[in-house]
Structure 1
Amino acid sequence: MTPPELGTRTKVLVLAGTMLGLLVSAVNQTVVSTALPRIVGELGGVGMFSWIITSFMLTSTAVVPLVGKLSDVYGRKPLFMLGILVFMATSAIAGLSQDILQLIVFRALQGVGAGMLMANAFAIIGDVFPPAERGKYQGLFSAVFGLASVVGPGLGGAITDHLSWRWVFYVNIPFGLLALAVLGWGFPPLSRQPGRPPVDYLGVAAMMLAVVPLLLALVWGGDQYPWLSAPVVGLLCLAAAGLALFLLAESRAADPILPLPLFRDRVFVVANGVTFLTGIAMFGAISFMPLFVQGALGASATNSGLVTMPMMVGLVLASTASGQVVSRLGRYRLLVLTGVAITAAGMFLLSRMDASTTTGTATVNMVVMGVGLGMSMPVLGLVVQNALPYRLLGVASASTQFFRQVGGLMGVAVFGTLMNTNLRAKLGQSMPETVGGRVPGELLAPLQDARVLLQPETLDGLQGRFVAALAEDGIVLFAQALAALREALAESLAPLFFIGFVLSVLGLAMALFLPELPLRRSLEEEPASLRQTGMGPRPAENPSPYPSPAASGEEG
């Protein structure tokens, strides 16, 4: 059966409601980051403030695979709308937090709602458009993240300054209500297959046992604890045990959360492998470029979000263009290869920067990086969706999100450890002997942390302490110490970007093995790649999201 064509008005409403829900989640992440100093100032708990972000990242990543599978069973619309409800409710109670621990718990719950939105947003496109048309709309969703990264920090600063930090959470509610209204009115009820299979509860538990300890180890390793410390090693061992249990459970489940035969499919493995490697590069660039531009180069910015704006603009434009090209030509392999190659070139250009690099050069390098990511990332998601049957659309969309986010967390964790190690060594080499010999250790201690370069008020106060302790020589010695820190930071970050370049090259080598499959022009068409994996449509299965003729009372 050929699914009935949805009207243009219905498609517009579905896309608008989905983008609104996704925008609420994406903007919230950048808005909250801007408000963190004010939050910690009022609630206290400065030693725990990083968990306001970490708890959100952990839960939003961990639930993605589970929600992707559940959406294949129960439908995208109810789970996406539930995600908006969870996100709004937890936003409301997060704004009422009375201490830092309450806020961390509520942010973790908010991450569950965000994960539900992330896991379903790209799959909803698949409910509305077949793969051959889907690429046109991938750029719109990438534009949402680009808009959030630019608008979010400024919005967060304005809300915090003129209202209260609590309103960075309350502001989500009206937009969430609007998204619910649009989806409730415009998103048609797409029936799921009759006879829902039992939920794989053992697989769910094993997945959480594998994913949560792994993410905690990545977040804590090299920051809270050394990588070889008992807590980090213990978490990694627990994650390995969870993975073993998960593989056992999935091999025996009637309807597994993540069907193991998918890993026999070359498209699935290659596309998600490239996504994982480019995720490391993307999150590494987003996380450390503000530190390089504002810290090493000394450029001023109203907020760190504006520093990465050139990269996000390049990403949005390239993802929009690549989506149009894929839909027109029906081919994706050359775009993926070109995009990953440009990403590698961008990382190489970043690795060549030093303290003498101009902000103009850094901007060009970031644009190159963004263009490469924009050409490859959305297309890789489409490639996986095209390779799997419709009944696994949620699994397909969630897998690319999950591997990208885990790659990003791993990249940020490992890069952060390497940067701190490099910085200590380079700072000792860069610091003039006159500074080391005359400046007391307690004055130099704050300069051991490169993040002080992003805090103008802290630097002003530190300069005042130099002058108070060393009189007129304090100004000169402070300038020398600051220049040494900037030089050491630049030399510490360059190797990280080179590692990103190497990983991107590995991604490019892996992408060479990506098969070129024809983009399916209907949801009922069987993916060609799954004929060898046993994951094609089951007997008597209706792969369409719409009611079958028998179910609706129609006759052939």
Structure 2
Amino acid sequence: MGGSGPGPASQPTTESGLTHRQILVVFSGLMLGMLLAALDQTIVATALPTIVGDLHGLNRLSWVVTAYLLTSTASAPLYGKISDLYGRKRVFQGAILIFLAGSVLSGLAQSMNQLVAFRAIQGLGAGGLIVLATTIIGDIVSPRERGRYQGYFGAVFGLASVAGPLLGGFLVEGPGWRWIFYVNLPIGAVALVVTSVVLKDSIRRRAHRIDFGGAGLMVAGVSALLLVTVWAGNQYPWSSPTIIGLAGAGIGLIVAFLVRERHAAEPILPLRLFRNRVFSVASAMGFIVGVGMFGAIIFLPVYLQLVNGVSPTVSGLLLIPLVVGLFVASIGSGQIISRVGRYKIFPILGTALMALGLWLLSHLGVHTSHVMASLYMLVLGVGIGGVMQVLVLATQNAVDYTDLGVATSLATFFRSLGGAFGTSIFGAILTSRLTHLLPQLLPPGTPAKSVQVALTGSPAALAKLSPAAHSGAVTAFVRSLHTVFTVGVPFALAAFVLACLLPEIQLRRAVTTDQQVPAAESVEAADTVGVS
């Protein structure tokens, strides 16, 4: 243990040289940071109908989520690179501070435009919280052992998925929706204190060149393409100059980004990694899984509140089956992988269950019982839990240790990028189908536009409609949601095909590819662990 002091000799150590207790000390800080990002996603999902009803920005509903995903996606590769150069601890704490600043500003927002902008700032911080927590574990735990420890990250997401909707519902019905952002402040303060105590940087500065120009090209290109998915067929015809121009600009900017990355001294997206088949297949899977997962799940709380007429708090409780499935599959798969050293079967089974779960959810109706809906969500949750952490583990195991930070950040990048596109695409599909169905299902003389505003605005506004208009609106929403979940099924099936093609490499028992374990030397007797 390189002078760790008395004690470790009497405790069983992992192959990386750290005791289980020492690793859990590191986890205490990392999981608090990750809890911030995970909790924020689930709290906002439950409160969205109320937020939109208060700030009156129906056409920007999906962007409250998309802006967060876009900036967290774009910043993820930068965090991986910057932490490789400056050290994990200080960059991780910087991400916490950025996230907290965005939280305060989001709580103070007076319009949907302001909220979208401040959510983008939150996303800048969130991109580092998830990426760096996973990367730091890669610094101190070997791939063979990492399965069971990363299962704890799945537990954090599970806890956040249960606590988020419940806490969000309580805050919306109590002090108000703005507190779903303010609640991050005490958690963030504790995370800063804990990480200051348990993490210790031991880095050597070296010359560096970070590709901020490439990051700008990527953000601009992805933003243009996301605008196409949101506006096309709704605000502008597909053949309009606006949509054609945005599509052309988006494609051109992405091509320019790839050309720049090929020649950049410190690229945020090293194209050479795509020569690694595990990395390329896992990245494609992550993108597709993100499309189906984020794009479909965001509408479940809305369905429960608008169709079943439950409160935000109760809608959070009704999502527990999905969380239980994710929690059990994530922890269970991690434990089994650590024992057997093999992982491929889990993404194969997980993507198959995702496809089945989305297909089952496409049958949700106005009169679907809570028991059946819970069963559908349980299947989807088990599928997601068997895929998410395993893809990160496979990627980390397949690349050289010097690429650990950037490879981990890119694994998160592609999943988040898929989520951003999925949220926009499925939001556009829902809006388009509502526009088509409402005139057919509403009583004669009922203005479809005002009903659509009430339907996707807030449950309180929907409750004010006449019984006939309410029935037609809910039926239109359910039929539109059928299309959303049905479109998600092919994405899950495509991920299943890729899972079958994913190469399986025996998991290493050492942290680094050269069998060295430098992280062990940074653990001191006081359980202050150094990460670089």
What TM-score comes out, normalization by structure 1 length?
Answer: 0.81
Deviations 1:268-296 (A, max 9, x none): 11111112112222123312333444445
Q: Which amino acid aligns with 1:149?
A: S
Q: Which residue of 2 aligns with 1:334?
A: 345
Could you tell me how far 1:490 is from its partner in structure 2? 3.0
Q: State, as a whole percentage, how many aligned pairs show the same letter.
A: 44
- Give the Cα–Cα distance (whole angstroms) in 1 for the partners of residues 500 and 49 of structure 2: 46
State the alpha-carbon separation in 2 of the partners of residues 210 and 241 from structure 1: 8
What value does the CA root-mean-square deviation take over the aligned residues?
A: 3.3
* Aligned twin of 1:524: 512
**Amino acid in the other structure paired with 1:16:** S
Match in the other structure for 2:415: 404
> In the alignment, is residue 495 of structure 1 matched against residue 483 of structure 2?
yes
Distance of aligned partners of 1:403 and 1:307 in 2 relative to their CA distance in 1, 3 Å threshold: farther
- State the alpha-carbon separation in 1 of the partners of residues 84 and 121 from structure 2: 23
State the AA in 2 paired with 1:363: S
Task: Pick one of 19, 33, 36 that aligns with 1:21.
Answer: 33
Q: 1:371 to 1:445 in 2, by over 3 A?
A: same
Q: CA, structure 1 residues 286+523, in 2 after alignment: closer, same or farther (shift >3 Å)?
A: same
Residue 505, structure 1, aligned to residue 493, structure 2: yes
Structure 1 counterpart of 2:246, which letter?
Answer: L
**Aligned equivalent of 1:373:** 384
The answer as to whether partners of 2:296 and 2:423 remain within 8 angstroms in 1 is no
Q: Is the 8 A contact 1:317 1:371 kept in 2?
A: yes
Read off the aligned partner of 2:184 and give its amino acid letter: N
Change (3 A) 1:405 1:319: same
- 1:482 and 1:97 map into 2 onto residues whose CA distance is 31
Query: Does the CA-based 8 Å contact 1:311-1:369 persist in structure 2?
Result: yes
Aligned 8 A contact 2:234 2:428 in 1: yes
TM superposition score normalised by structure 2: 0.85
Contact 1:222 1:413 in 2 (8 A): no
- Using the TM superposition, name which of 146-155 and 367-376 deviates more: 146-155
**Inter-partner Cα distance in structure 1 for 2:52 and 2:137:** 39
Moved more, 236-245 or 87-96: 87-96
Q: Find the partner of 1:199 among 196, 210, 222.
A: 210
Following superposition, the deviation at residue 324 of structure 1 comes to 0.7
* Whole-Å separation in 2 of the counterparts to 1:98 and 1:419: 26
**Deviations 1:356-412, CA, capped at 9 Å, x for gaps:** 532211210110011011011110111111111111112222222121122122222
Contact 2:87 2:203 in 1 (8 A): yes
Output the CA distance in 1 between the equivalents of 2:68 and 2:141: 31
Give the corresponding residue for 2:193. Answer: 181
Q: Does the C-alpha gap of structure 1 residues 446 and 360 become closer, same or farther in structure 2, counting only changes over 3 Å?
A: farther
| Residues 1:461 and 2:464 aligned together | yes
Q: CA deviation at 1:30?
A: 3.7
Corresponding residue for 2:103?
A: 91
2:446 is matched with: 441
Q: What amino acid maps onto 2:462 in structure 1?
A: L
| Counterpart Cα distance in 1 of 2:339 and 2:70 | 38
Is residue 2:322 matched to residue 1:278? no
- Matches of 1:69 and 1:377 in 2, distance apart? 22
1:450 positional shift = 7.8
- Distance in 1, Cα, partners of 2:517 & 2:212: 24
CA distance in 2, matches of 1:162, 1:484: 31
Q: 1:218 to 1:22 in 2, by over 3 A?
A: farther
CA contact (8 A) 2:350 2:386 kept: yes
Give distance in 2, aligned partners of 1:277 and 1:547. Answer: 39
Helix, strand or coil: the match of 1:175?
Answer: helix
Instruction: Specify the alignment match of 2:370 in structure 1.
Output: 359
Moved more, 279-288 or 421-430: 421-430
Structure 1: how far apart are the matches of 2:232 and 2:318? 27
Secondary structure of residue in 1 paired with 2:80: helix
Distance 1:169 1:458, change over 3 A: closer
CA–CA separation in structure 2 for the residues paired with 1:376 and 1:248: 31
**C-alpha contact 1:221 1:413 (8 A) present in aligned 2:** no
Distance change (3 Å), C-alpha of 1:83 and 1:105: same
2:258 pairs with 1:247: yes
Kept in 2: contact 1:149–1:312 (CA 8 A): yes
**Do 2:224 and 2:250's aligned partners in 1 also have CA atoms closer than 8 Å?**
yes
Given residue 446 of structure 2, which amino acid in structure 1 is its aligned partner? G
| Counterparts of 2:102 and 2:408, CA distance in 1 | 25
Q: Which of 111, 119, 128 lines up with 2:140 in the alignment?
A: 128
Query: What is the rounded CA distance, in whole Å, between the counterparts of 1:51 and 1:112 in structure 2?
Result: 15
Counterpart CA distance in 2 for 1:457 and 1:90 is 28
Residue 230 of structure 2 contacts residue 424 of structure 2 at CA under 8 Å; is this kept in 1? yes
Q: For residues 291 and 89 of structure 1, do their structure 2 counterparts lie closer, same or farther at Cα, with a shift above 3 Å needed?
A: closer
Residue type of the alignment partner of 1:117: L
What is the rounded CA distance, in whole Å, between the counterparts of 2:414 and 2:395 in structure 1? 12
Using the alignment, how far apart are the partners of 1:209 and 1:323 within structure 2?
37
How many residues matched?
510
Query: 1:48/1:322 Cα in 2 relative to 1: closer, same or farther (>3 Å)?
Result: closer
SS in 2 for 1:462: coil
Q: Take 2:453 and 2:91, find their aligned partners in 1: how far apart are those partners?
A: 43
Distance across 2 between alignment mates of 1:119 and 1:109:
16
Matched, 1:319 2:307: no
> How many Å separate the matches in 1 of 2:416 and 2:132?
15
Give the Cα separation in 2 of the matches to 1:61 and 1:456: 31
- Correspondence for 1:172: 184
Counterpart residue type for residue 61 of structure 1: T
User: For residue 162 of structure 2, what is the aligned residue in structure 1?
Assistant: 150
Q: Which has the larger radius of gyration?
A: 1
Q: Where do 5+ consecutive residues of structure 2 fail to align?
A: 3-14, 523-532
Please give the secondary structure, in 2, of the residue aligned with 1:422. helix
